[in-house]
């Protein structure tokens, strides 16, 4: 109780101080001006952290949040760590370096269920990206596009045909095989077998495939032998990074967590992959996020359902795996999946072409750090100008609210641009400078006595079709 009173007094004092400072800073007739941060953020809110200490409310957070800052600016310390240590919702976090998982002991101490999926080693979490795709060919095709994006940037005949081939085999394993076999490892194995001994797969399909899949398969098989070999070779190339990796094959062969639980009580999933191989593992990270989006969009959440907040750190590495992200972020608010995208530069969204602006426009609050050359000139114009009276000659003059040079040189400060509201210039406070957060991060993980899940992929047995 006393702590809440102190926080309220501190916030009131901060608001009054901001007003007093604005009088001294703007001793002129104002047109453009910075807004009052207390109208947007508060220490009592539970949404995205904006300046290290103050947060958006959940209603505003659902309208999405974007952080643009160069490497080494402390984005995680200012925005992600405080959000994790303050949040009362569920979250899925792209944690490339594994640094963010240091909050797990504190989260566990307050009753939050945490999961870690490390793409380089088998642990307690297995997620099958094909779960939830049965009967949804569009979802299957999204997965195929993500897989193809890792091996080919071209949109030629063989790439498109290989995408169709992967989708066909995904549809087969989902419709005609037991759930234990419905995974990408078996898709890879079947296409590999089809490349070497096509008659085996032809017999398998003829006996077990649905009418729709059988029709598509006959169309694929109708290509000339040389063309068919090229198509299947391209498909195998797109899948080999997963199919030839025993760890990835195993951890994507089944799902042992219930995404529905993320709506019922606070759950946090950390998705980890080596920073040095971020590009290699990015499609798999994107497929895991796709699983969350597919689940979230399957039905409108109720008022009691928790939000699932998505922390998309190093978002540029995930772009190829989220080709329809413009549609995702446009609809995220009503499905209670607030988005936080973290970029080193807005230009990294260029693969989305004309949809880039839609993605940025759907981020209600955007944060910019100093050090950005080209963007600094754009922000100078965006912030506008104000009129002031020259003290020497009494003439009315105009100047930008901030010059581009001042924006580039911002240090320990950020510009916050909320859609349709006055901009803010805020001082930032990293987590490591806050004693309360340092104590939470210092909590140690208890000795790990829990056995890891020991499970290996179960491959489809085609030996019965391998006879003359």
Long-range contacts of 352-357, Cβ-Cβ distance < 8 Å, separation of 24 or more:
352/319, 352/325, 352/326, 355/326
pLDDT tens-digit profile of 177-221?
999 999 999 999 999 999 999 999 999 999 999 999 999 999 999
CA atoms within 13 A on the CB side of 282: 23
Burial of 258 (0-12, 13-18, 19+ CB in 10 A): exposed
Rounded distance between C-alpha atoms, residue 56 and residue 9, angstroms: 19
| pLDDT over 90 (residue 366) | yes
For residue 151, how far is the Cα from the chain centroid?
A: 21
Rounded distance between C-alpha atoms, residue 170 and residue 382, angstroms: 48
Percent of the residues in the chain that have a pLDDT greater than 70, as a whole number: 91
Burial of 379 (0-12, 13-18, 19+ CB in 10 A): buried
| pLDDT over 50 (residue 352) | yes
Rounded distance between C-alpha atoms, residue 424 and residue 411, angstroms: 15
CB 331 within 8 A of CB 64: no
Phi/psi at 19 (nearest 5 deg)? -65, -40
Rounded distance between C-alpha atoms, residue 177 and residue 172, angstroms: 7
Residue 21: the pLDDT is: 43
Question: Which stretches within 362-403 are classed as H helix?
Answer: 373-383
Residue 29: the pLDDT is: 42
Rounded distance between C-alpha atoms, residue 253 and residue 240, angstroms: 15
CATH class belonging to 25-125+266-442: alpha beta
CB 376 within 8 A of CB 408: yes
Instruction: Say whether 366 sits in a helix, a strand or coil.
Output: strand
Select from 115, 117, 87, 85 the least CA-distant residue to 103.
85
Average pLDDT score, the chain: 89
DSSP string, 205-257: HHHH--HHHHHHHHHHHTS-HHHHHHHHHHHHHHHHHHHT-HHHHHHTS---S
Q: In what order do the strands lie in the sheet with 339-343?
A: 113-118, 267-272, 90-94, 308-312, 339-343, 65-68, 365-368, 413-418, 424-427
pLDDT tens-digit profile of 401-454?
999 999 999 999 999 999 989 999 999 999 999 999 999 999 987 765 556 678
| pLDDT over 80 (residue 19) | no
In sequence order, what are the beta bridge partners of 425?
Answer: 415
Name 371's Cβ contacts closer than 8 Å, sequence gap at least 6: 69, 70, 73, 408, 410
DSSP state of 308: E
| pLDDT over 90 (residue 28) | no
Select from 441, 416, 445, 444 the least CA-distant residue to 430.
441
Name the maximum alpha-carbon separation found in the chain: 101
pLDDT tens-digit profile of 259-306?
999 999 999 999 999 888 878 888 899 999 999 999 999 999 999 999
């Amino acid at each position: 109780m006393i702590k809440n009173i102190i926080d309220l007094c501190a916030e009131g004092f901060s608001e009054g101080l901001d007003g007093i400072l604005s009088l001294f800073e703007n001793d002129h007739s104002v047109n453009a001006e910075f807004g009052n941060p207390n109208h947007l953020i508060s220490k009592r809110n539970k949404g995205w952290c904006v300046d290290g200490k103050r947060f958006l409310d959940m209603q505003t957070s659902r309208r999405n949040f974007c952080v643009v800052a160069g490497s080494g600016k402390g984005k995680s310390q200012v925005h992600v760590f405080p959000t994790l240590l303050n949040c009362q919702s569920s979250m899925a976090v792209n944690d490339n370096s594994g640094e963010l998982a240091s909050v797990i002991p504190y989260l566990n101490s307050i009753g939050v269920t945490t999961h870690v999926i490390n793409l380089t080693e088998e642990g307690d979490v297995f997620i099958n990206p094909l779960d939830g795709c049965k009967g949804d060919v569009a979802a299957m095709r999204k997965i195929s596009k993500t897989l193809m994006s890792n091996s080919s940037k071209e949109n030629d005949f063989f790439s498109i045909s290989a995408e169709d081939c992967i989708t066909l085999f995904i549809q087969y394993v989902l419709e005609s095989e037991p759930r234990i076999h419905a995974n990408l490892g078996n898709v890879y194995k079947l296409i590999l077998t089809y490349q070497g001994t096509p008659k085996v797969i032809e017999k398998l399909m003829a006996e077990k495939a649905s009418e729709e899949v059988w029709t598509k398969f006959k169309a694929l098989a109708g290509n000339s032998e040389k063309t068919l070999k090229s198509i299947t070779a391209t498909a195998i190339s797109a899948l080999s990074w997963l199919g030839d990796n025993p760890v990835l094959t195993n951890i994507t062969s089944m799902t042992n967590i219930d995404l529905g639980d993320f709506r019922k009580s606070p759950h946090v999933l950390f998705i980890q992959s080596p920073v040095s191989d971020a590009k290699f593992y990015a499609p798999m990270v994107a497929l895991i996020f796709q699983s969350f989006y597919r689940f979230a969009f399957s039905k409108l959440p109720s008022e009691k359902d928790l939000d699932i907040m998505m922390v998309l750190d190093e978002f540029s590495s995930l772009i190829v795996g989220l080709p329809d992200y413009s549609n995702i972020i446009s609809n995220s608010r009503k499905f209670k999946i607030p988005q936080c995208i973290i970029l080193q530069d807005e230009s990294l969204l260029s693969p989305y072409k004309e949809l880039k602006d839609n993605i940025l426009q759907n981020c209600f609050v955007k944060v910019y750090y100093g050090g950005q050359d080209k963007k600094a000139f754009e922000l100078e114009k965006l912030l506008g100008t104000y009129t002031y009276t020259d003290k020497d000659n009494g003439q009315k003059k105009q100047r930008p609210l901030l010059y581009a040079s001042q924006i580039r040189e911002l240090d320990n400060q950020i510009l916050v641009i909320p859609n349709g509201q006055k901009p803010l210039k805020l001082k930032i406070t990293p987590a490591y400078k806050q004693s309360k957060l340092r104590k939470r991060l210092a909590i140690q993980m208890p000795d790990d006595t829990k056995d890891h899940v020991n499970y290996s992929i179960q491959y489809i047995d085609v030996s019965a079709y391998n006879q003359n």
